[in-house]
Amino acid sequence: MITLHKLALFRAVYEQGSFNRAAQSLYLAQSVVSQHVQDLEAALGVKLFQRTPRGIQPTAAGEQLYEYAGRILDLVSEAERSIAQVQALEDRSLTVAATPGVSVYLLPRWLNQFREQHPQINVNLQTALTLEVARDVLGGRYDLGFVEAEPSEFNEPLLGAHPVQQVTYRVVANPAHAWRGRASVTVPELLKEPFITRQPGSRARKWLEAALGEAAARLKIVAELDSPGAIKFALLNGMGVAVLPDYVIEREVARKELLSLRLEGVNLERSLLMLWSKQQPFSLVQRAFLQALSLSAPKVADLL
């Protein structure tokens, strides 16, 4: 009978070039190693080694078996490592923080995909502002963080920041608006409309003001709300117009419940970053999440 144990002994004899040296390396009696190789030869009906004045040499059949034995034993080792990793993931958890919008519209989908692959891992998602996410990821409160920002905004050398994807923002209005049927609007047209935006001091507000330049001071702001979701519902109720990321409004635009328009002459794109602490290597749970996320966000594969 061919067994993994016999194949391992055969490989040792082949690599050592001697029954005696193979037995010594395995802390076995030479007679035990010889008997197992003879059992293999009997099972296969061929000689695996031949004796020469310089010792033993593998036969053609021995050369072929050595190739297969290596592949079989390596595959068994790979399976053992994989199972050990799965076992190591048991009863673990993943804690993630993200800024408003990202935590509502993107992370739940990604975490669900992760849980489908690793149902034994508990996930915890918290919403926080950009600086809070960065601070608490670095402090070890969260395993990973997701924010809309540029890597240059973070000067802490121990904080990793890697792009996940680019986020496109659009001018958004109620479908009853006079802009219905248009693909874009100009900045002067935007300045004439009642405008809904994020609260003063938020990173999203500062980013939009920087993108609009001097025109930002002339926006007719009628409401300052604390999340993209709140702004979206204000738009659905016809309160005014706003600038929101595609991922927030994709469902409503598809259903024709909101209008999505390009703002001419203004670059409304931001980077979505993943943050992590560089103070220690990625854990097995973190790597498992990155592997799952890379299916939706290929840029993450650069970290694996």
pLDDT (tens digit per residue) in 83-94: 655 555 554 889
Q: What is the pLDDT of residue 78?
A: 76
One domain, residues 76 and 99: no
Q: Which residues pair with 195 in a beta bridge?
A: 221, 241
List pLDDT tens digits, range 145-194.
Answer: 999 998 888 888 899 999 999 999 999 999 999 999 999 999 999 999 99
Taking CA atoms, 241 is separated from 186, 187, 212, 223, 259, in Å, by 13, 13, 15, 10, 10
Which among 53, 68, 54, 58 has a CA at the least distance from the CA of 37? 58
One domain, residues 251 and 277: no
One domain, residues 277 and 160: yes
As a whole number of Å, the end-to-end CA separation of the chain is: 41
CA–CA dist 38, 42 (Å, integer): 6
CA–CA dist 252, 261 (Å, integer): 13
One domain, residues 126 and 190: no
Which CATH number is 12's domain given? 1.10.10.10
Domain that holds residue 159: 93-165+271-303
One domain, residues 119 and 202: no
Residues contacting 245, CB < 8 A, separation 6+: 101, 148, 167, 168, 169, 170, 228, 270
Helix H, strand E, coil C: the string for 105-168 is HCHHHHHHHHHHHCCCCEEEEEECCHHHHHHHHHCCCCCEEEEECCHHHCCCCCEEEEEEEEEE
Which CATH number is 233's domain given? 3.40.190.10
Q: What is the pLDDT of residue 193?
A: 96
One domain, residues 25 and 82: yes
CA–CA dist 134, 147 (Å, integer): 9
Residue 1 has pLDDT above 80, yes or no: no
CA–CA dist 294, 296 (Å, integer): 5
pTM of the model: 0.68
One domain, residues 51 and 136: no
Q: What is the pLDDT of residue 99?
A: 93
H/E segment holding residue 75: helix 60-89
One domain, residues 175 and 263: yes
Q: What average pLDDT does this structure show over 113-125? A: 90
Give the number of domains in the chain: 3
Would you put residue 143 in left (φ > 0), alpha (ψ -120 to 50) or beta? alpha
Percent of the chain with pLDDT over 70: 96
Tokens 């602490």 belong to residue: 277
Q: What is the pLDDT of residue 265?
A: 95
Number of other CB atoms surrounding residue 42 within 10 Å = 10
Q: What average pLDDT does this structure show over 254-266? A: 96
Residue 47 has pLDDT above 80, yes or no: yes
Q: What average pLDDT does this structure show over 127-138? A: 93
Residue 75 has pLDDT above 90, yes or no: no
One domain, residues 189 and 216: yes
Q: What is the pLDDT of residue 152?
A: 87
List pLDDT tens digits, range 19-43.
Answer: 888 888 877 788 888 898 898 888 8
pLDDT tier, 266 (very low <50, low <70, confident <90, very high otherwise) = very high
One domain, residues 219 and 287: no
Q: Between 21 and 245, whose confidence is greater?
A: 245
